[in-house]
Chain A
Amino acid sequence: MKKVSNYIVPLLFLFFLASCEKVVDVKVKGAEKKYVVEGVLTNETGKCEVKISQTLNLDDDNTFNGVSGAQVTITDDKGVVSTLLESAPGIYRNNLAGKPGTTYTMEVHISGNKFTAQSTMPNPVAIDSLYISSMDMMGDKTLMPNIVFRDPAEKGNAYRFIQYLNGKKSTDIFVQNDVLSNGRLNTTTLFQHDNDLKKGDSVGVDMLCIDNNVYKYWFSLYQGATGEEDSASPANPETNIKGGALGYFSAHTVSRKAVTVN
């Protein structure tokens, strides 16, 4: 249904031109600090990373405030334990590369807290092609990247797309599952919210094959916690971490492609 709002919202705003925007001063009650754990394990070597931080006050700088001194391990379903070591404050790394089909358990111990999460690395799906198309939207020609891939025959696949524009990672969230498109040749268009693609730009896309709990995390983050949506009820995303931390743990595969706009 997000696809629908991609069209309706600009059309309505065109119609009701009177809409106006203003920065306002809002005082919010603070909250107790909460741990944030973002655990990532991919099928590539050297990309296993767990970031641990704490929540910030709303008027703080948007800076990652890593928390040091945690014990972080990732264990596979055969009981093989890999320990992640702190490489920078709050950033814990290991050279572990995950194997598709394996369920991994992340365990974090910090200041008496224990956070655990499980994620199963799906089988990899590769991007067949990436191309740029143009679409007329309200008088503007908008350029958008399209990713073509074949969804596997079995149900239950989910994807997350990360877009890079001239090497810079975009903050737009693109997730998709195969409920409506199982087993088909998929073309996914990445609708641009803030970016304006121009000739000569290089566009890169990472396609992550994620498990369904991670899909749910990103889907609910997109729906409710980015501060942008007109959702009637913003809320924290649905995490797969047990023990009371924000964040997620995702074991996923990665497929990449890049293209230059011409």
Chain B
Amino acid sequence: MSHCLKVIKAWAVVFFAVMLFSQHGFAQGRFTISGTITSGRTGEKLMAVSIRVAGTSIATASNEYGFYALSLPAGKHHIEFSAVGSKTFSLDINLQRNTVQDISMQSEEKQLQDVVVMARRGGRNISSPQMGVERLQIAEIKNIPVLFGERDVLKTIQLLPGIKPAAEGGSGFYVRGGAADQNLILLDEAPVYNASHLMGFFSTFNSDAIKDVTVYKGGMPAQYGGRLSSVLDIKMNEGNNQDYAVSGGIGLISSKVNVEGPVQQGKSSFLLSGRRTYADMFLKLSPDSSINRNKLYFYDLNAKINYKLSKRDHLYLSGYFGRDVLGVQNKFGIDWGNGTGTLRWNHIFSSKLFANTSLIFSNYNYNIKVRNEADDFTIFSQIRDWNIKQDYQWYLSNRSSFRFGFNSIYHAIRPGEVRASDASSIADFYLQKRYSWENAAFFSHSWKASEKLNFTYGVRLTSFSVLGAGDYYSVDEDGNVTDTTHYQRGAFVKTYINPEPRVAASYKLNDRSSIKASYVRNVQNLHLISNSTTSNPSDKWVASSNIIKPEISDQVSVGYYRDFADNKYEFTLEAYYKDMQNQIDYRNGADIYTNDAIESQLLFGKGRAYGAEWLLKKREGRFTGWLSYTLSKTERLIDGINNNQWYNARQDRTHDIAVVGSYQLNKKWTVSANWVFSTGNAVTYPAGKYILDGRPVFYYTERNGYRLPSYHRLDLGATRQLKQKGRFSSELSFSLYNAYGRENPFTVNFREKEDNPQKTEAVQYALFKYVPSIAYSFKF
């Protein structure tokens, strides 16, 4: 218990230090204008609205809850508010006291067809020290052609530099050399542990329910932590508080419907969004009972309610529930899915101090049912989080703002539980439940040192405590358990404390260009143990333990940013170097499903990744799109793999190119295309073979010493607006995935030649060749 007290005490000290530091003086003769910015059409809060004071270099942006604050000298000011898809709002004000001014922005988007303009007026914020970040709005990705016509944010971000798909057509992704589990995926602040449906071909994020996606590849702000390589912060729509609206879509694979409207006009609203795939409906058409009784579908439900309690208080309750169901008659079934819930309370203490408190719940589990000749059993596994987050944003002056708070998460993992009937070959079996408590306090200061020089610096201090009850092990270097220690319920097995410094600076070269540099340390305490090339629902999350140490990454990056041609074009060049400690891999022949001492099945090592990323983007006009190129290297060094030499990680792809474009031909038609190219995956091929037990067996000498052939693909899309009747508008989208039918190898396997078993042949498998799709969507 004394250990527990110590941890709490450490936090208390940090917290009060932060509070104390926040107390020092206010400037004289200045007043603050603050308020909340909403969309006039829907009443939803608008984040990242750019706010500029005319005739000065004073500028800021609204936060993720639409709140803004500006400190200005007393007197008359002309302030301009501008945002993507909205008309610029001008405000003339004579500031004589602290003033609250809520802003309602008029939408530029009249109908479905006019979503071409996506410029952030006045260009992006080249002076902010934040780097390695990309923000996408759903309107921006609408026209990008995708597999099966199913718009998907996780697939779209893979077209950005530094972000690569984990597998063909999949929603899994790698960021700057990190593994798929090193991405922190947040849906309304709740971590989503398995963001994929149907073995990864779809993501869990129904684009109709999503407002905004921000991905951080580097320089993560201090309020984020827990994963090594990226943060993907996804915000759900809030719901229209002005009027009821219904939208939906019918595609080959799925249908969806979205309902939103006011609960109390202008004050509160709700949103309900659902999606279901029906691949198995086609199976039902089969007269054969062994086919039509199979199940294969998934669904998603998103719901959100927000309520304005007072001028200073706003409550949001949001939830997500999704599930995949796959069944082979009644013989085999697997279902898996995430559930998340977030309750948030925004409170405006004063014109300078904004606070948010979040209570977050997150759950992922799967069930497997097997009933056949010999067996009748179920397997269950679950990871569940309870999470509280307190976040303060303090706008001290136009030169200085602070962000600080804390986060406490209780993780409960049930790694695997088998329940079997008496007649089964297997007996009930339970892997030990694992508990842990993760705490973090963060603090950061954004400081405008001069007109040209900006800093953001801070620290995130995290502790991770492994808790009992349970047995913990000592393991020798061959993976044998040498000792077992039992801990009581609630006992502290081990606590890891890690400070994570976060530093970034920007220097404005002129009005149109800047350079930036940053250093960030990230720590990860939950690790996904996966040996599969595709996302598997039964991939296993394990927490740091007495043996599994927190993964740590240090990343430095530098960048150059430039806007061209009246901010119609923007150019970004970033380079990074990342060092990763305590990386985890399987032992050869590992069995992770029936082993309580999972550590005995693992190997540990380190990684490094470096690269450069170019992005040229056109955000405005009839033609929009981007060109991205990444040159990178990712390597691993794991004790016991590849003769203890550095080797290319699977996600190491030297070159990676994406060309994305969309062109509005006329009011009715928009056409789009994207082309991607990347170096083939690093793979392991045999060096030879031998005859064992009468069959050829392959002989390997190195890990990932070969490359699959290069990957490239062209996708085409077209969207046709249909006739509008009153409020009702609709459109048809066509897409063709892999338009020139490139057979991109998914795997290359080796086998005996069919016509001559004396010889060995290599066989490549390609997944998708010409996948056309059509989808209909409507809105009223």
Contact yes or no, B750 A20, CB < 8 A: no
Q: Does B743 contact A (CB under 8 A)?
A: yes
Closest CB-CB distance, B34 to chain A, in whole Å? 52
Contact yes or no, B199 A181, CB < 8 A: no
> Across the interface, which residues of B come within 8 angstroms of A224, CB to CB?
588-589
Contact yes or no, B699 A246, CB < 8 A: yes
Q: Does A232 contact B (CB under 8 A)?
A: yes
Contact yes or no, A30 B687, CB < 8 A: yes
Closest CB-CB distance, B650 to chain A, in whole Å? 6
B592 to chain A: closest residue by CB:
A1
CA of A8 to CA of B201, assembled, Å: 14
- Choose from A18, A23, A36 the contact partner of B767 (Cβ within 8 Å): A18
- Choose from B286, B759, B762, B767 the contact partner of A19 (Cβ within 8 Å): B767
A7-B332 contact, Cβ under 8 Å, with A31-B687, A180-B429, A220-B588: yes
Max chain B Cβ within 10 angstroms of own Cβ: one of A28, A183, A220: A28
A28-B687 contact, Cβ under 8 Å, with A179-B594, A228-B751, A233-B531: yes
> Across the interface, which residues of A come within 8 angstroms of B123, CB to CB?
none
Which residues in chain A, 28-64, are within 8 Å of chain B measured between CB atoms? 28-31, 33-34, 36, 38, 53-64
Contact yes or no, A22 B689, CB < 8 A: no
Q: Does B695 contact A (CB under 8 A)?
A: yes
Q: Does B752 contact A (CB under 8 A)?
A: yes
Contact yes or no, B758 A133, CB < 8 A: no
Contact yes or no, A56 B690, CB < 8 A: yes
CA of A136 to CA of B743, assembled, Å: 32
Q: Does B778 contact A (CB under 8 A)?
A: no
Contact yes or no, A28 B686, CB < 8 A: yes
Contact yes or no, B764 A24, CB < 8 A: yes
Which residues in chain B, 421-439, are within 8 Å of chain A measured between CB atoms? 424-427, 429
Q: Does A230 contact B (CB under 8 A)?
A: yes
Contact yes or no, B763 A225, CB < 8 A: no
Which residues in chain B, 587-601, are within 8 Å of chain A measured between CB atoms? 588-589, 591, 593-594
CA of A182 to CA of B689, assembled, Å: 36
Closest CB-CB distance, B468 to chain A, in whole Å? 24
Q: Does B692 contact A (CB under 8 A)?
A: yes
Contact yes or no, A182 B748, CB < 8 A: no
Which residues in chain B, 738-780, are within 8 Å of chain A measured between CB atoms? 743, 745, 747-752, 757-771
Q: Does A226 contact B (CB under 8 A)?
A: yes
Mark interface residues in B253-289 (1 if CB within 8 Å of A CB, else 0).
0000000000000000000000000010001001011
Q: Does A26 contact B (CB under 8 A)?
A: yes
Contact yes or no, B533 A26, CB < 8 A: no
Q: Does A79 contact B (CB under 8 A)?
A: no
Contact yes or no, B373 A189, CB < 8 A: yes
A227-B686 contact, Cβ under 8 Å, with A22-B743, A232-B531: yes
Which residues in chain B, 545-592, are within 8 Å of chain A measured between CB atoms? 585-586, 588-589, 591
> Across the interface, which residues of A come within 8 angstroms of B373, CB to CB?
133, 135, 144, 146, 187, 189
B738 to chain A: closest residue by CB:
A18
Closest CB-CB distance, A119 to chain B, in whole Å? 15
CA of A8 to CA of B751, assembled, Å: 22
Max chain B Cβ within 10 angstroms of own Cβ: one of A62, A217, A238: A62
Contact yes or no, A22 B763, CB < 8 A: yes
> Across the interface, which residues of A come within 8 angstroms of B331, CB to CB?
7, 135
- Choose from B695, B745, B759 the contact partner of A61 (Cβ within 8 Å): B759
CA of A228 to CA of B329, assembled, Å: 27
Q: Does A122 contact B (CB under 8 A)?
A: no
> Across the interface, which residues of B come within 8 angstroms of A111, CB to CB?
none
> Across the interface, which residues of B come within 8 angstroms of A188, CB to CB?
374, 425
- Choose from A138, A231, A233 the contact partner of B290 (Cβ within 8 Å): A138
Closest CB-CB distance, B162 to chain A, in whole Å? 22
Which residues in chain B, 686-744, are within 8 Å of chain A measured between CB atoms? 686-701, 703-706, 709, 743
A223-B689 contact, Cβ under 8 Å, with A20-B743, A133-B373: no
> Across the interface, which residues of A come within 8 angstroms of B374, CB to CB?
146, 186-189
- Choose from A31, A181, A187, A189 the contact partner of B701 (Cβ within 8 Å): A31
Q: Does A87 contact B (CB under 8 A)?
A: no
- Choose from B289, B375, B427, B766 the contact partner of A22 (Cβ within 8 Å): B766
Contact yes or no, A180 B531, CB < 8 A: no
Q: Does A216 contact B (CB under 8 A)?
A: yes
Q: Does A184 contact B (CB under 8 A)?
A: yes
A234-B700 contact, Cβ under 8 Å, with A136-B290, A227-B751: yes
Contact yes or no, B688 A31, CB < 8 A: yes
> Across the interface, which residues of B come within 8 angstroms of A262, CB to CB?
none
> Across the interface, which residues of B come within 8 angstroms of A125, CB to CB?
none
Closest CB-CB distance, B751 to chain A, in whole Å? 6
CA of A223 to CA of B349, assembled, Å: 59
Mark interface residues in B327-371 (1 if CB within 8 Å of A CB, else 0).
011011010000000000000000000000000000000001010
Mark interface residues in B362-398 (1 if CB within 8 Å of A CB, else 0).
0000001010111100000000000000000000000
Closest CB-CB distance, A107 to chain B, in whole Å? 20
Q: Does A247 contact B (CB under 8 A)?
A: yes
Contact yes or no, A26 B594, CB < 8 A: no
Mark interface residues in A224-255 (1 if CB within 8 Å of B CB, else 0).
11111011111111100000001100000000
- Choose from B279, B283, B588, B762 the contact partner of A24 (Cβ within 8 Å): B762
Contact yes or no, B760 A62, CB < 8 A: yes
A20-B760 contact, Cβ under 8 Å, with A219-B591, A230-B533: no
CA of A231 to CA of B590, assembled, Å: 12
Contact yes or no, B771 A228, CB < 8 A: no
Instruction: Please tell me which stretch of A9-17, A98-106, A195-203 contacts chain B, meaning at least 4 of its Cβ atoms lie within 8 angstroms of it.
Output: A9-17
Contact yes or no, A137 B290, CB < 8 A: yes
Contact yes or no, A38 B692, CB < 8 A: yes
A11-B692 contact, Cβ under 8 Å, with A21-B764, A184-B426: no
CA of A33 to CA of B688, assembled, Å: 9
> Across the interface, which residues of B come within 8 angstroms of A126, CB to CB?
none
CA of A16 to CA of B701, assembled, Å: 34
Q: Does B685 contact A (CB under 8 A)?
A: yes
> Across the interface, which residues of A come within 8 angstroms of B705, CB to CB?
29
20 A-B residue contacts at CB 8 Å? A4-B370, A15-B279, A18-B767, A18-B768, A22-B743, A22-B766, A23-B763, A24-B709, A26-B748, A29-B687, A57-B689, A59-B759, A63-B758, A133-B373, A180-B594, A187-B373, A225-B697, A232-B531, A233-B531, A238-B589
- Besides A29-B687, A38-B692, 18 other A-B contacts (C-beta < 8 A): A4-B334, A4-B368, A11-B328, A19-B766, A20-B769, A30-B688, A53-B690, A55-B699, A59-B759, A60-B689, A63-B758, A64-B691, A180-B594, A219-B591, A220-B589, A225-B699, A233-B703, A234-B698
Nearest 8 CB-CB pairings of A with B: A220-B589, A187-B374, A136-B290, A31-B687, A227-B750, A180-B426, A26-B762, A7-B332
